Structure 1
Amino acid sequence: MSGFFKNIHSIPNPTFVLDEELFLQNMRVFDALQKQGGVQVLCALKGFAMWEVFPLMTNYLSGGTASSLNEARLIHDEMGKKAHSCFVVYNQEEFNEVQQLSSHITFNSMSQFERFRKELRKDVHYALRINPEFSNVDFEQYNPCVEGSRFGVTHEELPSVFPSEITGLHFHTLCESSAQDFKEVLDVIESKFGDVLHQVKWVNFGGGHHITKEDYDIDLLSSLLKNIQRKYNIELFIEPGEAIGYNAGYLIAKVEDVVTNKREKTAVLNVSFAAHMPDCLEMPYKPEVVGENKEGVEITLGGNTCMSGDFVRGFRFLEDLQIGETIVFKDMAHYTFVKTTFFNGVKHPSLGLWTKSNEFKLLKSFSYEDFKYRLS
């Protein structure tokens, strides 16, 4: 990435930039996991959907997971594969096309399965999303098994005779989770749904696996997967979202103003946490910025929308930030440009790729027309 920082002022500002070499490092981790653990890795488009690199991705991954018809279309068009579709809810108008675009379809509830039961096709593999009523995710907003959750079928909701049309199970209980977290969930799954695991042919272990994080225990994950495969003789899938683009991208921004109120100094940027980095406010978390220090001048970074809460506190730099200074946010390739908005009509960051040949490739710049024609 030395070339990236050396040439950063030649890149449009603001821009989300994916580093191709860092992205390839993640892909190699998944490739090794597939070979070691006997699992098929799918890219969850809800977390990462930069389709420019889908052809590159398919050299390493087995396909993609769709949560909507648009995502299923994108997998078909840009990966050249059928989707593993797991929608929260299907509707009558779209279901036929979803089936045409999908190799695997997961129903979130028994009522959804019953609604479309007579329309199922022989060339599609169907599953139920199950809810083990257990998760070790601390933050409730990201816990799909919280009490009263709309996600998945509990064991007590399963019919006494398991439907013959259902050949798979699907569960998603993790978020930024370790292999040990997965083991704890797996123990609960086996205790509650072990009888069903013996009846199905495939299982999707969902997302939330922090596989490309530096201290992730790949050996433990591989061991768990191989044991499940041997014990139940089933085909295995996982569908990471965050881990696909983890630490592989940046958001380049710029200081446009510096304001002081009482003792709090805020550098107002040409990007928005609310519109361009929403997870920073939803989780919430403080993103890392290149050039930060543990000590120094404490500065709040503020977004450029009129939302009062569009700021994040707690950044420290050796010196005061100056108007025109470039700010580079780290780890901005997942759950960022898939969630951005045109709120306030503020300029949307461009999308770009820093190639392994050390060149910048502009993929998309956004214009007034992009803003206008989202409205009517």
Structure 2
Amino acid sequence: MIDFSLFPSPCYIMEEEALRKNLSLIKSVADRTGTEIILAFKSFALWRSFPIFREYIQASTASSPYEARLALEQFGSKAHTYSPAYTIEDFPEIMHCSSHITFNSLTQYQRFYPLAKAHGGISCGIRINPEYSEVETSLYNPCAPGSRFGITADQLPDILPEGIEGFHCHCHCESSSYELEHTLKHIEQKFSRWFSQIKWLNLGGGHLMTRKDYDIEHLVHLLQGLQARYPHLHIILEPGSAFTWQTGVLASKVVDIVENKGIQTAILNVSFTCHMPDCLEMPYQPAVRGAQMGSDGPHVYRLGGNSCLSGDFIGFWSFDHKLQPGELIIFEDMIHYTTVKTNMFNGIQHPAMAMWTRDGRAEIFRQFSYEDYKNRMD
């Protein structure tokens, strides 16, 4: 049990034991299927925890020069890199830090492959778009009509251009193995005629295999079947959320209680728009420890952030007591897609980042100050 008194407020707190449990499950899937499962930095990049990750996996995926450099310098291996568009200014850094580079379009490939070939030691691929996805939130659907991601089967020549050694496909978001099964049918139907010309197939992220209701045995069966059908292909998965799903919290405190038209809002020392942006973008109502979602209960509050954005609030929660200033409010499952997406809008204090170790210690990774805010504006 985390001792919250040992941490500053507000604070993201990762639990080492929960992280290792996820990593062990992911490694078991990789070992049983012969696939490579790597960490997507777009979901999580808290590099002080990378020594733990390296006990279970060997690589990561990047989508920018900064992420690729983090992979090389902090994760200790070159990145599998994909970007919607590389620039001539950034590409030398990308090549230096990458083992694999995936291009989003044939024009990007034609422009940059000669540089990658001259550099040497880089396996190049192209992103494909099977024109199928079951992601319902349009903001997160990479295969929506008119998507800017990847090329469709009708755009590929019968013989792949020189140097294309792999296909990369991303169609999922917190998805099940059954959605992967449906997706694979579309990928194979549209793109398998080129599989003999490539060496690897990257199935992207969104495979939420650490969720409690995820059918691991079905996933293993799918991947083993895919490998049996195409034994020459190296299969890669790059989930983000699965690694850090349910591995930690955002601990905050009540600052004030205000009431307007019968609605009581507990204002916190954190912000949804700054520190939990997916709650507003996705949108979804996060779980709060010790509270029930909804307006049925003895003490109902809307939770509000401490920024000046009018919409910096979300949901209604019922508590079994009246909230008081200074009281601890814990948001569950706030490690993935949080620290990588936070901002300092309004000069709001950024939560500290920390870990509760498996031997019961509070390890503070980073606390932020005015200097961090000022230097971003410099």
Taking structure 1 as the reference length, what is the TM-score of the superposition? 0.97
Give the corresponding residue for 1:141.
139
State the one-letter code of the partner of 1:134.
Answer: Y
State the SS of the aligned residue for 1:120: helix
Q: Tell whether 2:149 aligns with 1:151.
A: yes
| CA–CA separation in structure 2 for the residues paired with 1:56 and 1:293 | 34
Structure 1 residue 298, shift from structure 2 partner:
2.0
State the SS of the aligned residue for 2:159: coil
Give the corresponding residue for 1:235.
234
Give the corresponding residue for 2:260.
261
State the SS of the aligned residue for 1:347: coil
| CA–CA separation in structure 1 for the residues paired with 2:213 and 2:57 | 22
Mapping of 1:88-99 within 5 angstroms? 88-99=84-95
State the SS of the aligned residue for 2:363: strand
Give the corresponding residue for 1:127.
125
State the SS of the aligned residue for 2:212: coil
Q: Tell whether 2:309 aligns with 1:307.
A: yes
Structure 1 residue 116, shift from structure 2 partner:
1.0
Give the corresponding residue for 1:11.
7
Q: Percent identity?
A: 44
Whether the aligned pair in 1 keeps the contact of 2:140 and 2:173 (CA below 8 Å) is yes
Give the corresponding residue for 1:20.
16
Structure 1 residue 293, shift from structure 2 partner:
2.7
Q: Summarize deviations over 1:99-137 as a string: whole Å, max 9, x none.
A: 121111100111110111321233111111000111011
State the one-letter code of the partner of 2:56.
Answer: Y
Q: Tell whether 2:208 aligns with 1:210.
A: yes
Q: Summarize deviations over 1:167-199 as a string: whole Å, max 9, x none.
A: 100000000100000000000101111101222
Structure 1 residue 94, shift from structure 2 partner:
1.4
| CA–CA separation in structure 2 for the residues paired with 1:264 and 1:346 | 25
State the one-letter code of the partner of 2:183.
Answer: V
| CA–CA separation in structure 1 for the residues paired with 2:63 and 2:331 | 28
Give the corresponding residue for 1:103.
99
Structure 1 residue 74, shift from structure 2 partner:
0.6
Whether the aligned pair in 2 keeps the contact of 1:37 and 1:221 (CA below 8 Å) is no
Structure 1 residue 286, shift from structure 2 partner:
0.4
Structure 1 segments, 4+ long, off by >4 Å, are none
Whether the aligned pair in 2 keeps the contact of 1:127 and 1:166 (CA below 8 Å) is yes
Mapping of 1:1-376 within 5 angstroms? 2=1, 4=2, 7-121=3-117, 122-233=120-231, 234-293=233-292, 295-296=296-297, 297-376=299-378
| CA–CA separation in structure 2 for the residues paired with 1:352 and 1:112 | 40
| CA–CA separation in structure 1 for the residues paired with 2:248 and 2:106 | 39
User: Size of the alignment, in residue pairs?
Assistant: 372
| CA–CA separation in structure 2 for the residues paired with 1:328 and 1:374 | 28
Whether the aligned pair in 1 keeps the contact of 2:26 and 2:37 (CA below 8 Å) is yes
| CA–CA separation in structure 2 for the residues paired with 1:317 and 1:61 | 41
Gaps of 5+ in 1: none
Structure 1 residue 9, shift from structure 2 partner:
2.0
Whether the aligned pair in 2 keeps the contact of 1:353 and 1:363 (CA below 8 Å) is yes
Gaps of 5+ in 2: none
Q: Which moved more, 1:117-126 or 1:107-116?
A: 117-126
| CA–CA separation in structure 1 for the residues paired with 2:102 and 2:292 | 46
Whether the aligned pair in 2 keeps the contact of 1:44 and 1:65 (CA below 8 Å) is yes
State the SS of the aligned residue for 1:149: coil
Structure 1 residue 363, shift from structure 2 partner:
0.7
Q: State the Cα RMSD in Å.
A: 1.0
Structure 1 residue 11, shift from structure 2 partner:
1.2
Whether the aligned pair in 1 keeps the contact of 2:58 and 2:77 (CA below 8 Å) is no
| CA–CA separation in structure 1 for the residues paired with 2:364 and 2:185 | 46
Structure 1 residue 313, shift from structure 2 partner:
1.4
Structure 1 residue 147, shift from structure 2 partner:
0.6
| CA–CA separation in structure 1 for the residues paired with 2:71 and 2:343 | 22
| CA–CA separation in structure 2 for the residues paired with 1:210 and 1:113 | 31
Structure 1 residue 160, shift from structure 2 partner:
3.3
Structure 1 residue 157, shift from structure 2 partner:
1.2
State the SS of the aligned residue for 1:307: coil
State the one-letter code of the partner of 2:207.
Answer: H
| CA–CA separation in structure 1 for the residues paired with 2:310 and 2:195 | 49
| CA–CA separation in structure 1 for the residues paired with 2:144 and 2:318 | 36
Whether the aligned pair in 1 keeps the contact of 2:64 and 2:81 (CA below 8 Å) is yes
State the one-letter code of the partner of 1:239.
Answer: E
Whether the aligned pair in 1 keeps the contact of 2:13 and 2:248 (CA below 8 Å) is yes
Whether the aligned pair in 2 keeps the contact of 1:289 and 1:328 (CA below 8 Å) is yes
| CA–CA separation in structure 2 for the residues paired with 1:28 and 1:231 | 27
